[in-house]
Amino acid sequence: MDSGERVYWIRAMLRDSFDVGASIIIFENPETGKFIQFALMGREGLICDVPTTILTVEEEEKLRELMPETSRDMETGELISYQRWFDSHELDRAAELVEEIFTNIFNLSVDYGLRCIVG
């Protein structure tokens, strides 16, 4: 699957998840275990979330520029994840962000594989 096909597939998975009323969707590269998760907020939109626990120092530096919004632990203030909000009509942009993170942040090869987990 090339980049364009993968973005189309990611967008379709996001759209299908909205249609079935899912609350979470995860895109994972099985070879590396790297993943990006989305929390679907009803019909309003979705939050892209990348946990800091899966990031190297270099990946985190690059991701910080791409996704400046963060989630922090309420008690400790510790950084938990990088986040980005998308309205429900912005699924194309969300799919493109997933592709950008896997190729430019996680540095996966152009023919990397993904699996989708919906819950």
Distance CA 74, CA 77 (A): 6
Mean pLDDT, rounded, for 96-114? 96
**pTM beyond 0.85:** yes
Structural domains in the chain, CATH included, are 3-118 (3.30.1460)
Q: What is the pLDDT of residues 22-76, one digit of tens each?
A: 999 999 999 999 999 999 998 899 999 999 999 999 999 999 989 989 999 999 9
Average confidence (pLDDT) over 3-21: 95
**pLDDT value, residue 42:** 85
Residue 94 CB burial class (10 angstroms; 0-12, 13-18, ≥19): buried
